[in-house]
Amino acid sequence: MNDNDVMNASLSPAPGCPQSNRVKLFHTSSPVGNKEDFYSILGVARTASQKDIKKSYYQMAKKYHPDTNPDDPSSKEKFAKLAEAYEVLSDEVKRKQYDTYGAAGFDPSRGGAGAGQQQYYRAGSASVDPEELFKKIFGEFSGGRGFGDFGSMFDQRPEFVMELTFAQAAKGVIKEMTVNIDDACQRCEGKGSEPGTKVSKCNYCSGTGMETVSTGPFMMRSACRRCGGRGSIMTTPCVLQTVKVPVPAGVEDGQTVLMSVGKKEILVTFRVQRSPVFKRNGMDIHSDAMISIAQAILGGTARTQGLYETISMQIPAGCQVDQTIRLQGKGIRKMNSYVYGDHYVHIKIRVPKKLSRKQQALMISYAEEETDVPGTVNGVTMPTGQTTAHPHGNYSKDKRSNIHTRN
């Protein structure tokens, strides 16, 4: 899309989902009916968890990455197939559709069970650059780790999920979360009480940590209910601390960050909520803006909600429904950079359901001047045999005058 197609804050044809021409996609040319099963490609069972799918994808992608197989021309195709399979199976909605309809459910050219369903994916070609997918999931937060170091993280680190709003993911945020990991508290060094305070013996169990419970004719020993079996009571317990997670601006749904908590490392996967206002396409965002009929015909200015602020934009005269105004640099910031996407505003025209008598008279006057109406207009009388409104219709001037007088 060049400057002749779309100008900053100017009218342009509505784009589909703009993509950069610099991104090269790997394509597979096998027909849908002969496509290899996505689960088989990743080497996982159909009941595999998302963690197992991600782990298997990383291991397989590492094995067939073109950089590690420069002498194997087939590695690119294998690497692309892995991206194709992972893109579907890592998304629960796409995965469910694939489990129900198979690859045919993603092919818009085929009928059958998948026909009529929403097309999330086209079988036969990866809809993302395999290299970009790999970097997006593992590279952005790896901190320069090599393949060997990063691959073992799934077996050693607990994984947590953090919910983010659309705005938090787009603009970045420092968000707190509570984690439950087996690690010594740095504040109390694992003692469980505030530094400088003493631990008192539990009088309930006399410091043994066990209590005797009578159940009829039987006696049973169990962990002390008051001290939890520790044998002591912390008069000033250490306060539990929450973890502050720095969420970078531009993070996408499903991305994972590796961070340290005390002496441990954890994985935090982001789940981004949908926005009632914006739709995201990479770094670009799309939204709708409502304008009046007068604004559409005569032009003017309109205000619309932006990601960072309320934006005033110019409406050109003759604006049409679903035409698009591009707000350059008002989109989402690319993660770990200072590059911003664009905000595309799709124009909607508000048609009033009721008019005052004066407004109705004005509209009838306007209709009498139209020459390209494919049909008739209520309230405008046309000569016999004429199928469009006449530029000098027979609508009574006296009737219009009466309407103006009554108003």
SS3 label, residue 68: helix
pLDDT given for residue 286 in this prediction: 97
Question: Phi and psi of 72, rounded to 5°?
Answer: -110, 100
366, 393 contact by CB (below 8 A)? no
- Yes or no: say if 154 and 51 are a contact pair by the CB < 8 Å rule: yes
Burial, 59: exposed, middle or buried (Cβ in 10 Å; 0-12, 13-18, 19+)? middle
**CATH code that applies to domain 25-128:** 1.10.287.110
Q: How does 86-111 read in b/e, with b if 16+ C-beta sit within 10 Å? A: bbbbbbeebbebbeebbbbbbbeebe
Q: What is the mean pLDDT of each run of 10 residues along the chain (407 residues)?
A: 42 43 39 71 89 85 79 84 88 84 60 39 49 62 44 60 93 86 59 66 82 73 76 66 84 85 80 94 95 95 95 95 95 89 96 93 89 83 54 44 43
The Cα–Cα gap between 96 and 88 comes to 9
Burial class, 120, CB count within 10 angstroms (exposed 0-12 / middle 13-18 / buried 19+): middle
Task: Determine the length of the chain.
Answer: 407
pLDDT of residue 12: 42
**What pLDDT is recorded for position 394?**
43
SS3 8: strand
User: Mapping DSSP to helix (H, G, I), strand (E, B) and coil, where does residue 338 land?
Assistant: coil
Q: What pLDDT does 92 receive?
A: 83
Taking the C-alpha atoms of residue 49 and residue 302, their distance in angstroms, rounded to an integer, is 48
CATH number assigned to the domain with residue range 279-350, chosen from the 4 options 3.40.50.300, 2.60.120.10, 2.60.260.20, 2.60.40.10? 2.60.260.20
pLDDT confidence of residue 189: 57
Residues 55, 58, 62, 63, Cα dihedral to 10°: 50
Whether the domain at 25-128 and the domain at 279-350 fall into the same CATH topology? no
Residue 4 sits at φ, ψ, to 5 deg, of -75, -25
The full set of domain ranges for the chain reads 25-128, 279-350, 357-406
Q: Cα(137)–Cα(3) distance, rounded to whole angstroms? A: 33
Distance CA 10, CA 157 (A): 50
The DSSP 8-state label assigned to residue 288 in this structure reads E
